[in-house]
Copies of this chain bind each other. A is one copy, B any other.
Amino acid sequence: MDVRLSAEQQALREAAARLVDDHAPGSVAELDDAARTARLEAALTGSGWRELRAPEDEGRPLASAVETAIVAEELGRGPADASFLGPTLATELRRRAGAEPATALETVLLRPDLSGLVVVEDEQTRCSGVAIDARGVASALALVRTGHGYDLVGVPVAGASPGRDLTRPAAMVEGAAPERLPGAGRRLLTAEDIEAWSAFTLALTCADLVGTMRGAVDLAREYASVRRQYGKAIGSFQSVQHMLADAFVSIEGSSSVTRHAAWAADTLPPGEALAAAAVAKAYCARAAREVCETAIQVHGGIGMTWECLAHIHLRRALLSTQVLGDVGANLARVVAHRKIGGVHDGLR
């Protein structure tokens, strides 16, 4: 056991941090700065990080889920308003199915409540759902159930619009006809594949939440250091100090469970990986809401304004929370995995 990041992993984190520091929006107004988003997009494309889960020899991914999570965390911290989660999840699906790489940027199609991939019963059934993280994306992957497993299909995506998460616009897909992917040599995905993909997805959302929390606390810490009331920096008041200290502690705990969930996604059997991911997601999602709420509270009235970045972090956290299940859904996974459910609903 040695769960330190390797030198290469640390270098990757630093590179991702640099990209984010150079190109992420420094204010809410900058979200609309098309030149900046183009630079961020170009830098991210140039980095090749969207292909971390593309297949190398024997179909293994170029990089592990740990490295992928490192990039996801830094992009969350930014917050980086370029698509990463969606394309990475799509690439992971293609890799598992042995499909050819996508020719254009692609994401995944989730059920309207974002709880999982859209699955249709046959290729004649039209697909509806949400193409998450759809900025600059042309299509989204869904599943068709067959007698022997699940086949990948694509649906066209258009018109991503900023929704609850202003950094990662999504697109509604309504009644799109699924299209078989081109190319041969593809295999059907098993239920275990889906489970493993879900574990990977949850781990990445945790990493994004950890980054989001870091970004929110950085923002609040800075504000608390400069904002003065009653003749002193508000960060010198014990109540503000304790709110931020608790937030920092939550980040540290979240970081530890996320590191394990990312490791588990590539290493443990799918059921165990999913259980590890559920523990991490329940923990991180609970923490993220509290931490982002704290960041707003520390900002006082400013924190309630559209122009303050604090709600941008909160909104991003809410989206990442919802992807493949929020606190309640993942706590239910923990209950199921530890076999402590099945209680009656009323009084004891």
**Docked-complex contact A341 and B345, CB < 8 angstroms:** yes
> Which residue on B lies nearest to A113, using beta carbons?
B348
Task: State the Cβ distance, A70 to closest chain B Cβ, in Å.
Answer: 28
- A329 interface residue per 8 A CB criterion: yes
The distance in angstroms between the C-alpha atoms of A333 and B345, with both chains bound, is 10
> Residues of B contacting A332 with CB < 8 Å?
345-347
A201-217 CB contacts (< 8 Å) to partner B: none
- A227 interface residue per 8 A CB criterion: no
- A229 interface residue per 8 A CB criterion: no
- A242 interface residue per 8 A CB criterion: yes
Q: Known: A239-B239, A239-B242. Is A329-B341 also a contact (CB below 8 A)?
A: no
**Docked-complex contact B341 and A325, CB < 8 angstroms:** no
The distance in angstroms between the C-alpha atoms of A238 and B238, with both chains bound, is 6
A227-244 CB contacts (< 8 Å) to partner B: 237-239, 242
> Residues of B contacting A342 with CB < 8 Å?
345
**Docked-complex contact B333 and A115, CB < 8 angstroms:** no
- A336 interface residue per 8 A CB criterion: yes
Task: State the Cβ distance, A231 to closest chain B Cβ, in Å.
Answer: 16
> Which residue on B lies nearest to A336, using beta carbons?
B346
> Residues of B contacting A348 with CB < 8 Å?
113, 115, 328-329
> Which residue on B lies nearest to A330, using beta carbons?
B347
The distance in angstroms between the C-alpha atoms of A328 and B341, with both chains bound, is 15
Known: A113-B348, A332-B345, A336-B346. 17 other contacts (CB 8 A): A115-B347, A115-B348, A237-B238, A238-B238, A238-B239, A239-B239, A239-B242, A325-B347, A328-B348, A329-B347, A329-B348, A332-B346, A332-B347, A333-B347, A341-B345, A341-B346, A342-B345
Can you list 20 contacts pairing A with B, beta carbon distance less than 8 Å?
A113-B348, A115-B347, A115-B348, A237-B238, A238-B238, A238-B239, A239-B239, A239-B242, A325-B347, A328-B348, A329-B347, A329-B348, A332-B345, A332-B346, A332-B347, A333-B347, A336-B346, A341-B345, A341-B346, A342-B345
